[in-house]
Amino acid sequence: MVLDEIEALDYLEAEVRKVDKALGREFLRNESPSIFTHAVIGAVDLVAVAVSCSLFLAIIRIADGSFSTTQTRLASAAIVLVISFFYLALTQCLCGRTFGMMPYKYKSGGCAGFGTPFPNAVIVRTAGYFVAAAPVMVGIVWAAFNRSIEVGRISYRELWSSAISNIVLLPRG
C-alpha cells in the first residue's frame, strides 16, 4: 500500500514538472515588448487621443473661443484629460487593448491568471499613466501659463528651464 501512494505522488510530481516547463517556455515567448514597440504604441495612442480631442477643440475655436484666455486653456486641458482618460480606460476595459496595442497583438492582462483585467485595476493603471506624465506636463503647463518676458524689443514665453537658468532662447540674426 505504501508503494502505491509513493508512485501516485511521483506521477503527480512529474506532471507538475511538465506543466512548469511548458509554462516556462510560454513565458519566454511572451516577453515584454521592446522600448521601440512601446514608443510606437504610445505614439499611436497619442494620435488617437489627438484625433478624438480635435473635434472638441475645433468647436471651441468655431464658437469664438480665444485660446489666449486662461479659461479657454483650462477648459481645453480638461477636455483633453477627460477624453484621454476615457480612451485609455474604456479601450482596456472593453477589449483589453488600445489602438496602439492592436497591430502588435498585445493586450492588457490581469497578473492573476493572465485573464482580462478587472475594471478597477484598469482605472488604477490609467491613473498611473497620468502620474507618470505629470513631470513632463509641469514644464508644458509652466510655459503655457507663465508670463511673457521682454528681451530687447521681443517678447518671449519664459520656459521652466529659462527661469531656473536665467537664459532665454533668441533667434539667430
Question: Which one, of 93, 48, 62, 80, lies nearest residue 144 by Cα?
Answer: 80
Contact between residue 85 and residue 130 where contact means Cβ atoms under 8 Å apart: yes
Distance CA 19, CA 15 (A): 6
Per-residue pLDDT tens for 5-44?
556 567 777 777 787 677 666 655 556 677 888 888 888 9
pLDDT at 47: 92
Tell me if residue 149 falls in helix, strand or coil: strand
| Residue 148 pLDDT class (50, 70, 90 cuts) | low
Residue 45 neighbours by CB distance under 10 Å:
19
Please check whether residue 96 is in contact with residue 107, taking contact to mean a CB–CB distance below 8 angstroms. Answer: yes
Please report the pLDDT score of residue 116 as a whole number: 66
Report how far Cα 85 is from the mean position of its chain's Cα atoms.
Answer: 9
pLDDT in tens, 36-91: 888 888 889 989 999 999 999 899 888 887 887 888 888 888 999 999 999 988 88
Going by C-alpha positions, the residue among 91, 153, 99 that lies closest to residue 126 is: 91
How many helices (H) and strands (E) the chain has is answered by: 5, 2
Q: Is it the case that residue 100 has pLDDT exceeding 80?
A: yes
* Mean pLDDT (whole number) for 104-113: 67
> What pLDDT score was predicted for residue 1?
47
122 or 110, greater pLDDT: 122
